[in-house]
Amino acid sequence: MKTISKIIIYPIKSLNGISVPSAKLTPAGFNNDRKFMLVDVIENKMITLREFPDLYKLNVRFITNDLMQIENKNKDQKPLLINLNHLSDLNDIKKVKIWDDLVEVQHIYEEANDWFSNELGIKCQLVQMAPNFLRQVDLRFAPPGQGVLFADGFPFLICAESTLNLINNHLEKQVSMIHFRPNIVVKGTQPNEEYNWSSININNQTFCSFKPCARCKIISIYPDSREINDEIIPLMAEKFNQQNKIIFGINACWQNNMSHAELKVGDVLTSVNKTNQ
């Protein structure tokens, strides 16, 4: 039986995720997922784990439904509390590049900017998407009007335990699902089965617009130690390669667009449609 084994939300792009038992669905992703992003003020670009792997040092947790805490336990710095529903100054809007997209953002508040600037050693801002701005998902895979927040390109990323196990069968030093930063982890599938899906149904919710997720060097970083696994990139370049790109997991969109819909750990994939059927 194919089921959800884990749901992970990343409130701030490139920071650690939070494993949750259930999560509300929105067209742009799970509620509060990639809601915020750090921006290099001087370069006016997004800050990611690629340049700042020490972001993995920051612990993220929900205090309440409306409040989260960011903390570096190895540094003498007061934890940062962030109101997830904070309303920013609507006039303070600027444009920032996320890969090939130019998006409109607004900073949250100065306390957060100062906290992260002190943590990273560069002048940075914590931003959220500007109201009414739509960041369109790639039109080759999704219809017009399908938006995404600060995730790399799609609202959801689905990964399979069996495919991870297949990777680890070839590695001397094992990696975990955390290396791949999924939103939805499924178990009970055959290895690599997910790359043949055209749509799936979970708890009466349909996910489609699938695109294999291209990977970069972040997958080689151990989150706890920031050490590098030198095996994984060459292995995946050889055995998990599509069109000269390393792939693991599938990007997806949610089709139903219903209010109050959610997914829970343990939910069953009740139907799977495949491209070769």
Q: How far apart are CA 16 and CA 70, in angstroms?
A: 10
Phi-psi region of 167 (alpha: psi -120 to 50; beta: other; left: phi over 0): alpha
67-83 exposure pattern, b = at least 16 Cβ within 10 A, e = fewer: ebebbbeeeeeeebebe
Q: Residue 49's pLDDT band (boundaries 50, 70, 90)?
A: very high
Domains and CATH numbers, the chain: 3-30+138-274 (2.40.33.20), 36-129 (no CATH)
Whether the CB-CB separation of 220 and 230 falls below 8 Å is answered with yes
State pLDDT tens for residues 177-187.
999 999 999 99
Q: How far apart are CA 26 and CA 148, in angstroms?
A: 10
State pLDDT tens for residues 12-21.
999 999 999 9
State pLDDT tens for residues 191-244.
999 999 999 999 999 999 999 999 999 999 999 999 999 999 999 999 999 989
pLDDT confidence of residue 120: 93
Q: Which residues, at least 6 apart from 16, have a Cβ–Cβ distance to it below 8 Å?
A: 10, 55, 56, 58, 59, 60, 223
Tell me, letter by letter, the H, E, C secondary structure of the chain.
CCEEEEEEECCECCCCCEEECEEEEECCEECCCCCEEEEECCCCEECCCCCCHHHHHCEEEECCCCEEEEECCCCCCCCEEEECCCCCCCCCCEEEEECCEEEEEEECCHHHHHHHHHHHCCCEEEEEECCCCCCECCCCCCCCCCECCCCCCCCEEEEEHHHHHHHHCCCCCCCCHHHHCCCEEEECCCCCHHHHEEEEEECCEEEEEEEEEECCHHHHECCCCCCECCCHHHHHHHHCEECCEEEEEEEEEECCCCCCCEEECCCEEEEEEECCC
State pLDDT tens for residues 208-218.
999 999 999 99
